Amino acid sequence: MKFYPYRLFDVLLPAAVAVSVSGLLARCSTTGPRILVPAVALVVALVLPAHDRNPSRLPADRHRDWLSTCDWIDRNLPADAVVLTPPSSWAFKWYARRAEFVVFKDCPQDAAGILEWDRRRQVRGRWLHNLQRGRPVLPTTRTAFSRREITHILWSRHDGPGGLQGLAAVYQNRGYVVYAVPESLVSDLLPRSYFPRRS
Q: Which residue has the higher pLDDT, 3 or 16?
A: 16
Q: Which residue has the higher pLDDT, 46 or 143?
A: 46
3-state per-residue secondary structure call for the chain: CCCCHHHHHHHHHHHHHHHHHHHHHHHCCCHHHHHHHHHHHHHHHHHCCCCCCCCCCCCHHHHHHHHHHHHHHHHHCCCCCEEECCCCCCCHHHHHCCEECCCCCCCCCCHHHHHHHHHHHHHHHHHHHHHHCCCCCHHHCHHHHHCCCCCEEEEECCCCCCCCCCCCEEEECCCEEEEECCCHHHHHHCCHHHCCCCC
pLDDT of 105-118, one tens digit each?
Answer: 888 888 998 998 99
- The pTM (predicted TM-score) of the whole model is 0.66
When pLDDT is cut at 50, 70 and 90, the band that residue 135 belongs to is low
The whole-number average pLDDT for the span 49-62 is 76
